Amino acid sequence: MRLPKLQISVAITALLGLCSMGTFCVLPDANNGAPPDPSFSCADSEPPAADEAGLFFSDPGGGARPLAADAVLQLEYGPQGGQHVMVTVRHHTSSDGVWAYRLAFQPEAAEPGTPAPEAPRMPVLEGSNTVPVNACASGWTETTAPVFINIMDSGLADTAGEIPKARGLLRLVATPREAGEKASAEVRVQIAM
């Protein structure tokens, strides 16, 4: 009779020991340094006018304002060597449903010609992510999500030690799960290293 109780107490002691060493138990730690999961919220405001976009990248400081062309997005580094930029999207739909957002950053093509020897080399980045989004019923859905970035060439620092910002096009293609028309948006941005 004492043997099973002994085995249980040894097992519990072993689990507690592993947990205290951090090798077995996983405790919540603000997403463990990984990029945050996408967040979604419904926003109250008028539908877009006939000449206004119903899908656009929005300014993180004010959801109803579109992200300005050439806005600077900060590259964030994860603990496992990955990197991402956070973007906010505003989308007006006439009904609820699940949409797939395909986000991408495409680098600007290099200008023809050879740069001067003292000019710093521009960084070359590209990135993407696909996010499922639960659209709000007949209204605006605001989504914040990461775009995972790959660095192909980090560029050269200038004389002040600064690496130039990577320039490119941030694109979004939104596709409803049910048959329907795709929507898309794009804006030129810079990514600061």
Within 10 Å of residue 136's Cβ, how many Cβ atoms? 20
pLDDT band at 117 (very low <50, low <70, confident <90, very high): low
Structure tokens at 188: 């030129």
pTM: 0.74
Cβ atoms of 40 and 133 closer than 8 Å:
yes
- The DSSP symbol for 16 reads H
> Has residue 41 got a pLDDT over 60?
yes
Q: In the chain, which residue ranges form alpha helices assigned H by DSSP?
A: 2-21
Structure tokens at 13: 């002691």
Q: Per mean pLDDT, which range of 13-17, 116-120, 171-175 is the poorest?
A: 13-17
Domains (range + CATH), the chain: 1-29 (no CATH), 34-192 (2.60.40.1710)
The full DSSP string for 168-188 is: EEEEEEEEESSS---EEEEEE
